[in-house]
Each structure stands twice: as C-alpha cells, then as structure tokens.
Chain A
Amino acid sequence: MKVVLENLTKRFPGRSKKDEAVTAVDHFSFEIPDGQLIGLLGPSGCGKSTTLNLISGLETPTEGKIFFGDEDVTDLPPEARGVGLVFQNYALYPHLTVEENIIFPLENLKGAKKLTKEAMHEKAMEAARLVQIDTLMERKPKELSGGQQQRVAIARALVKIPRVLLLDEPLSNLDARLRLQTREELRRIQRETGVTTIFVTHDQEEAMSISDLIIVMKSGKVHQIGKPQDVYDEPANLFVAQFLGTPQINVFDGAIRNGKVWIGKEAVLDAAGKADRDVWVGIRPEGFIPDPEGPFTCKMDRVEVMGRDVSVISTHEKMTGKCIRSIVSSENRFAPDQKEVRFRLKPYKVFLFDKESEERV
C-alpha cells in the first residue's frame, strides 16, 4: 500500500495563552512507494513521532491529507485505517500472556470480519512463527527479554495484516548487539510480509543500514528524501550532511574565490564555474588522502589506530568542530613527532554549502 502525505501540518497549542503554538510537523509532503521500508530520521524533537502518530490516526492533522493507496484516510479513526503500530516501549499488556497480547487486535474485529477462536489462534501462531516466538506463547511479557518483547509487539502489530506497519524507535530499547540482530530481523520480516513499513529513529546508522528510503527531518520539515547512499553522497544541505555519517562530517569556514575553494589561505580544491561567495566546506572523514604535497595543511594532534584503518585527528583554525577527524588507510605511516599533516581531498567527498541558507551550492 503506498502512503501519500500531502501538506501535512500539525500544530500543538501552547501551554498557556501567552505561549505560541508549536508546529511539530510543517507542510510535510511525500509519497512512500508500496512495499518499502522507510526510515524517518531526525534529531529528537524534530516531529518524527508526531508524523508517525498522524499516519496512525492517533493525532489529527491541523492541515493536509493522508492517503493509503487512493483512499483518503485523513478523517478515519486509527482502528479503521488498518495500521499496525509498535511502540518504543512496546506497550505489551503486562497482565496478558504473549498469545493473548497477539490475539487482542483480532478479538476487536466485528461483524463479518469476526473470527472463531480457532482461526484467531491459528493467525496468532502464524504471526508468532514469523517473528520466531511461537514457543513462548504462554509467557507473560515480563518473563521475556527485551528483544523477545519487541518480537511480540511486532507480531501483535502484524496479526491483523495491516496496510501499513509503523515502528516508533524500534531498536532504541535494545542493547548494542541485539540492535544489530534485530535490525536484520526487521528487514527480513518486512521482506517476507511485503507490508509498507515506516520506522522512526534518531540513529542514522540504523536508518541507513536497512531502509529502502530515508526521510531526513528537522524541526518538522523534510530536509531530504532518498536512497540512503544517495542522501549520504549528495546531501541537500548542511544539516543533512552533518546528521548522516559517523564520524561526523568536518565543516570549515571557507570561501569560493576565482573558481577555487579556499580554506584559510589555501586553495584546497577546484570549483570551476561557481560564483564567488562565502561557504561552509564539508569534508567527509574518508575524503582525506594524506599527501606530503597536498594543498591542505592541518596541525597534527594524534593518530588513532583501528587496525583496518587509521583515524588522524588534527586541527585547523577555520574548522567549526572541536577537531578534524579523517579516516585513512592504515598503509599510511605517520612520524610520532609530526607537527603538520598535509592532505589531498577527494572532490566527491567535499560539499559546499551557502553561508546564509546552508543549502548545497
């Protein structure tokens, strides 16, 4: 089921009359193709959970429309939309067993859709097998591990075969190892069911690793939509460039003058055909190549050896962060007392952003 959001806006009233209304989601428009896994990515407080709640129907939009396929569901209550929702804390009913939890949505069906006890049990088992918890059906949620609880929550969301599956920070309550595992698991479940899935996360690595498409949000606005690699390689603005990638992109205060990119007194790169202006220069950590003849000189701070590659930590007077982190091949050798390090830059790893609008130049 494709999901279309048109000019979706949600304003929350201020706490008192004096406070201004808060716009959590601001004229959000995008189309999610059928059967894809979408990562809704942004820093906390950027409105991504509100967006999810709007799609689920738990919140009603102030403006705009939501379509599932060709059907306008904007005014439909949550239960009529056919969405499955997995909460950050899973919201499993603690007094019910795993099976009772999974069956709960089925028991709410009325009229022609009503199922017999056996049919419900069969469907619950099917959902449980999909997430591999079919041996735990008699347990209570508190007798399960975090990862198992999450599987139950997913099974409960899937048992009705939703048109859209929504996951709110699905991995944030899991420990690091389980997070990796569950990530793969989510991908597998989504592939097997083919349900259009939207998940919210503030962890860019999580979003990049399993999504077909990522949507980067900030302050209620969409900043960029695209395939993870495309967004990483071609960030639309400074925020997106900074938000994606670990270690973070290095940003310098620079300028374009006479077809060259200048950082401080050095022309580090060609910028043929671009008008003169002040810019932010973003360089990905992997965009540096150590070269004694290179045009870009930084003050050497230290080298962190990671085995496969090496992190060179250096500083520069025009940098905006605390230090410059560049990741280079471990074949490079650095002298222990080296005061300076010179780099060549990979042009496709360097992005220029307008000083004022912070949009890509």
Chain B
Amino acid sequence: MKKKNNLKAWLYLLPAILFLGVFMLYPLVDVCFYSLEENFHFVSQKYSGIGLGNFRHVLTDPYFAMALKNTLILVAITVPVSTGLSLLIALGLSSVQKVKKLFQTIYFLPYVTNTLAVGLVFWLLFRNTEHTDGLISSLIVSLGGESINFIEGTYWQKMMVTCLYTIWIVMPFKILILTSALASVNPDYYKAARVDGASSGRIFRKITLPMISPTVFYLIITGFIGAFKAYSDEVALFGTNLNAAEMNTIVGYVYDMLYSDSGGFPGYAAAAALLLFAIVFTITYVNLRFSRNKVQYM
C-alpha cells in the first residue's frame, strides 16, 4: 500500500520535476561544468583542460572588476533608499483617506510601464542632443547652472541617473506590499498606544515597524537579489555597449562573455555567473542571520 502510494506521489510530481529538471537543474549543473572547462571552443565543442582558469581570468579581468564595482554601488544605494522611500510613501498613503486610490494608482504606474519606455523618458530628462538639452539640464541652466549631459557625462553623473532609474522602477512593488502590510496591522494597537500616551514616533518604532518587519525584511532580501541581477535598466539608459559607458553590471558581463562582439566564452560567463551566485548567496545568508532576532513573525 505504502509503495503504491509512493509511486503515485512521484507520478503526480513528474510534470513539475521534468520541467524544473530540464529548465532549472540541468542548466545549473551545466553552468558548473562550463565554469571548469578551460579554453572551451564553441564551434569544435572542445576544451583544453579542467581547472579554475576561467575564474582566474574573470577575477583578473578589469571589465569584471568594473562590473562588480558598479553592481555593488547600485546595490548599496538603491536597496536602502528605495525601501526607505517606499516605507515613507506607504505610511503617507495609509494616513490619507480621500485620494488614496488615485495616489496608489499613480505610484503603481512605473510597475506596469515597459523598462525601455521608461528608459526613453529618462533620456528626455537627462540626455542632451544636438538640438536640445535634457529637461533636468535645462532646469539647471535656467537656475543659472551649467548644462550637464548626464547620460554621456562623468562616471558619477551616470551612476546617479542609473540609481534614480532603478529606485524609480522598483518602488511601486515595494509601496504596494508595504501599504498592504500597514493595512493589516490591527488599528486597536494604535488606539491602545495613543491612550497609553505614546508619541507617533514611538508608535512607529515600537509597534508599526516590528509588526511589518517580516514584510520589510522580505523586501530587503528580494531587493538585494534584484539589484545584484541589474542589467536591463542599464541597457535602457546606455545601450548595449555598457563597457564603453563604464556602466556594465555582472549580469551584463555574463551576457557580453556569451553573445556580444567580444563574446563566445561560455567558460568565463559561467564563472562570472557562479561568482555572482556566491555573492548573492553570502549576502542573503548574512541577512538572514542578522535579522533572526530583529524580525517578528507573529
């Protein structure tokens, strides 16, 4: 009886296992193999040996170093800023009554807007063409400053635009989740706290924040993972030649190693992808450990 049941269970699981196996597990394992095959040649499908040569190459590649630096800066700036801003906006949304729906819709718009379309808007804002300055640049000029072409400007000007872009793109989802988390806190807690004479700052710190801490934590973790995988936003702003724009990311580097003009190195791409995995894994683990005592699951 038990054996028969087991068989049945496996049968039910088969579609999922097949799907996950073919599209998730096999590629994952394959990436590990690729990363160890040195000097793999796409056409002849041959490699010269097994070893850590690919990793050595990637880690000494200045383009990878740049991609890593860009990604880390992006993560360090966009995750805290976007989460913090989203929390502020969600708090604001939960305290207004009348036009709440309208604001919710407005804040949610970026989420349903195509990345490349947003890129275009950012071009209009930040990029100078032969005929006209970007909107922001025009604004600076009208205030008596000098014209700045952000998209083709200095490293930090470009980085600033990238961060703005990323923050703007990721906020709607966070606002949505945080608004619902705030709405799920029983208003009696706030009433009790008010009767007990707690200031609004203290209510936020001692009651609101602990109550929504699982949600905040979830957003931070997924925010980290998402930011580490940044690529499309940079393409939308600077085009596909990110190395030339000094704005490449790790995922961009992986893509370049595979497909771009300088591509055709699956070994390097696999090694870089595994390095990215190692970084994300470590950070997520540290996050989990750090938050164990801070997050209140109720």
Residue positions of A touching B, CB distance < 8 A: 56-58, 77-80, 83-85, 87, 89, 91, 93-96, 104-105, 107-109, 142, 156, 160
Instruction: Give chain B interface residues in 187-236, CB to chain A under 8 Å.
Output: 188-189, 191-199, 202, 206-207, 210-211
A158 CB, nearest partner CB in chain B, Å = 12
Tell me whether B197 and A108 are in contact (CB under 8 A): yes
Chain A contacts for B197, CB-based, 8 A: 78-80, 105, 108-109, 160
Chain B contacts for A79, CB-based, 8 A: 194-198
Interface SS majority for chain B: helix
Q: Decide if B48 is an interface residue (CB 8 Å cutoff).
A: no
A79 CB, nearest partner CB in chain B, Å = 3
Chain B contacts for A104, CB-based, 8 A: 193, 196, 198, 206
Tell me whether B195 and A95 are in contact (CB under 8 A): no
Task: Give Cα A79 to B195, complex, Å.
Answer: 5
Tell me whether B195 and A78 are in contact (CB under 8 A): yes
Tell me whether A108 and B202 are in contact (CB under 8 A): yes
Which residue in chain B gives the minimum CB-CB distance to A84? B195
Which residue in chain A gives the minimum CB-CB distance to B198? A108
Tell me whether B296 and A94 are in contact (CB under 8 A): yes
Which residue in chain B gives the minimum CB-CB distance to A156? B196
Tell me whether B195 and A93 are in contact (CB under 8 A): no
- Given contact pairs A77-B194, A89-B186, A93-B210, a sample of 20 additional A-B residue pairs in the complex whose CB atoms are under 8 Å apart: A56-B195, A57-B195, A83-B195, A85-B192, A87-B188, A87-B192, A93-B189, A93-B192, A93-B207, A94-B296, A95-B210, A96-B206, A104-B193, A104-B198, A104-B206, A107-B202, A108-B197, A142-B298, A160-B196, A160-B197
Tell me whether A78 and B194 are in contact (CB under 8 A): yes
B50 CB, nearest partner CB in chain A, Å = 52
Tell me whether B191 and A91 are in contact (CB under 8 A): yes
Tell me whether A95 and B298 are in contact (CB under 8 A): yes
Chain B contacts for A160, CB-based, 8 A: 196-197
Task: Give Cα A95 to B213, complex, Å.
Answer: 11
Task: Give Cα A91 to B189, complex, Å.
Answer: 5
Task: Give Cα A109 to B196, complex, Å.
Answer: 9
Tell me whether B211 and A89 are in contact (CB under 8 A): no
Task: Give Cα A347 to B193, complex, Å.
Answer: 52
**Would you mind naming 14 contact pairs between A and B with Cβ atoms under 8 Å apart?**
A56-B195, A58-B195, A77-B194, A78-B197, A80-B197, A87-B188, A87-B192, A91-B188, A93-B207, A93-B210, A94-B211, A95-B211, A104-B193, A108-B196
Tell me whether A108 and B195 are in contact (CB under 8 A): no
Tell me whether B195 and A94 are in contact (CB under 8 A): no
Chain A contacts for B206, CB-based, 8 A: 93, 96, 104
Task: Give Cα A82 to B227, complex, Å.
Answer: 49
Picked from A85, A89, A107, the residue with its CB within 8 Å of the CB of B195 is: A85
Task: Give Cα A94 to B207, complex, Å.
Answer: 9
B215 CB, nearest partner CB in chain A, Å = 14
Task: Give Cα A105 to B198, complex, Å.
Answer: 7
A95 CB, nearest partner CB in chain B, Å = 4
